[in-house]
Amino acid sequence: MSRVFILALLTIAVMFTAIVLIVWGIVLSFGGPANTLLYLLIFGDAGLLITMIEIAQRKKKRAG
């Protein structure tokens, strides 16, 4: 397999993981008012952090 194809698959996997974490945080937040903010912060921030790291890696590859 070509390097571009492998990088594309890796990007898709990372983005899928980020989306799953964000959605899982939203789903768990419906469990009750005490857990709402906690789950949204943990899983939502984890998903957004993964997305930001992926974007930074892409920009780094283009610049260098």
Q: pLDDT digit string (tens) for 3-29?
A: 778 777 877 888 888 788 778 777 777
Q: pLDDT digit string (tens) for 21-52?
A: 778 777 777 766 666 677 777 777 777 788 78
CA distance linking residue 33 with residue 64, whole number of Å: 47
Rounded to two decimals, the pTM is 0.57
pLDDT of residue 7: 76
pLDDT of residue 33: 66
> Torsion angle, CA of 25/26/32/35, rounded to 10 degrees?
30
Number of neighbouring beta carbons within 10 Å of residue 16? 11
pLDDT of residue 14: 80
Q: Report whether 30 contacts 16 (CB < 8 A).
A: no
pLDDT of residue 34: 62
Q: Report whether 32 contacts 13 (CB < 8 A).
A: no
